[in-house]
C-alpha cells in the first residue's frame, strides 16, 4: 500500500500544524488551564514542550548526532503563564520552521541517532509531524475548540502509531504490555467517513508472541467504528470510546485494557 505521506509532506505538515496551533492563540488566551489529556501540564507547558521538542530534534539532525543530546529543556517546563500567548505562538512556529528546514537540508537518508530503529531523518520527520498533530489536539481540548485533520495526515498518523506500538523494543520500554498478548485477542478499527480506496481499517493482533497489526477488514474480538479523526484521537488516548461518535461491538473489556496500556504521552 502506498504511504499516505512522504518525507517532504511530513516536513511541510510540521509547519502547517504549528501554524494552525499558533493561530488558535489570541492575545487574551489563558495559558493557565490544565491540559485534560496531559494533566501534569498547563497550556503554556504543552506549547513549550512542543517548541523545545522541535528544537531538540533539529539539533540532532543538524549535528548528525550519534547519541541523544541532553533533553532537560523538554522535561523541565516552566509553568509561567505571563508570556504573551501570541509571542509563545511565534516562538513555536519559529521552531517548527527551523526543524522543517533542517530536515530538508539533511535529506531523508542521512545517518543519525534515532531512539527507535531507522537511523535517519525519516524517523524524526514522521514522528515530529504526528507529535505536532496530537499536541495540537491536546491544545484544542484545553481551549474547548474543535479539532480536525486532513485524511492523509490522519491515515499516516494511525499507521505510524500502529508501527511504533508493535516494535519488539516496546516490550523493553513497556514490559507491562506483554499482558496484552493472549489467544483470541484481536481488535478491529474502521473509519466510517472514508472512501473504500482509503482502506481505513486496522486489525490489531495480540494472539502471537508479539504485538502485530495490519491494514485489514477482518472479524475481531472487538470492533470499533467511528469517523477517522475520532479513531485517531481514541488510539492516542484523547477520546473515550463511550462517546456518541463510536460504535463498539464485542469484547469492550479487551478494548479498554488495550487502550489503558498503549497510551501516548
Q: Identify whether the C-beta of residue 84 lies closer than 8 Å to the C-beta of residue 120.
A: no
Residue 131 covered by a domain: yes
Residue 1 covered by a domain: no
Burial class (CB in 10 A: 0-12, 13-18, 19+), 39: exposed
Q: Are residues 13 and 142 in the same domain?
A: yes
Residue 175 covered by a domain: yes
Q: Identify whether the C-beta of residue 254 lies closer than 8 Å to the C-beta of residue 222.
A: yes
Residue 243 covered by a domain: yes
Tally the domains of the chain. Answer: 2
Instruction: Write the CA distances from 29 to 8, 14, 22, 96, 143, integer angstroms.
Output: 32, 23, 11, 21, 8
Domain boundary at 147, 170, 186, which? 147
pTM reported for the whole predicted model: 0.95
What is d(CA 230, CA 238) in angstroms, rounded to the nearest whole number? 9
Burial class (CB in 10 A: 0-12, 13-18, 19+), 192: middle
Q: What is the pLDDT along the chain (265 residues), one digit of tens a residue?
A: 567 799 999 999 999 999 999 999 999 999 999 999 998 999 999 999 999 999 999 999 999 999 998 888 888 899 999 999 999 999 999 999 999 999 999 999 999 999 988 899 999 999 999 999 999 999 999 999 999 999 999 999 999 999 998 998 888 888 999 999 999 999 999 999 999 999 999 999 999 999 999 999 999 999 999 999 999 999 999 988 888 899 999 999 999 999 999 877 6
The parent domain of residue 187 ranges over 155-261
Helices 43-62 and 85-106, packing angle to 10 deg: 20
Amino acid at each position: 500500500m502506498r504511504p499516505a505521506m512522504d518525507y517532504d509532506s511530513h516536513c511541510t505538515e510540521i509547519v502547517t500544524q504549528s501554524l494552525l496551533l499558533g493561530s488558535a492563540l489570541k492575545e487574551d488566551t489563558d495559558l493557565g488551564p490544565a491540559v485534560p489529556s496531559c494533566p501534569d501540564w498547563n497550556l503554556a507547558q504543552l506549547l513549550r514542550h512542543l517548541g523545545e521538542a522541535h528544537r531538540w530534534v533539529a539539533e540532532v539532525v543538524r549535528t548528525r548526532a550519534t547519541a541523544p543530546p541532553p533533553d532537560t529543556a523538554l522535561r523541565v517546563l516552566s509553568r509561567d503563564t505571563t508570556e504573551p500567548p501570541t509571542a509563545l505562538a511565534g516562538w513555536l512556529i519559529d521552531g517548527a520552521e527551523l526543524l522543517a528546514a533542517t530536515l530538508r537540508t539533511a535529506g531523508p537518508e542521512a545517518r543519525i541517532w534515532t531512539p527507535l530503529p531507522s537511523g535517519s531523518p525519516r524517523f524524526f520527520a514522521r514522528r515530529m509531524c504526528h507529535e505536532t498533530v496530537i499536541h495540537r489536539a491536546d491544545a484544542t481540548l484545553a481551549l474547548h475548540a474543535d479539532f480536525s485533520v486532513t485524511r492523509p495526515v490522519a491515515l499516516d498518523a494511525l499507521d505510524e502509531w500502529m508501527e511504533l506500538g508493535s516494535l519488539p523494543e516496546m516490550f523493553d520500554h513497556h514490559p507491562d504490555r506483554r499482558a496484552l498478548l493472549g489467544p483470541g485477542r484481536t481488535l478491529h478499527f474502521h473509519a466510517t467517513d472514508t472512501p473504500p480506496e482509503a482502506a481505513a481499517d486496522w486489525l490489531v493482533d495480540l494472539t502471537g508472541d508479539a504485538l502485530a497489526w495490519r491494514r485489514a477488514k477482518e472479524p475481531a474480538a472487538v470492533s470499533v467504528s467511528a469517523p477517522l479523526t475520532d479513531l485517531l484521537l481514541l488510539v492516542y488516548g484523547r477520546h473515550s470510546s463511550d462517546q456518541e461518535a463510536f460504535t463498539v461491538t464485542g469484547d469492550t473489556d479487551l478494548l479498554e485494557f488495550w487502550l489503558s496500556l498503549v497510551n501516548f504521552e
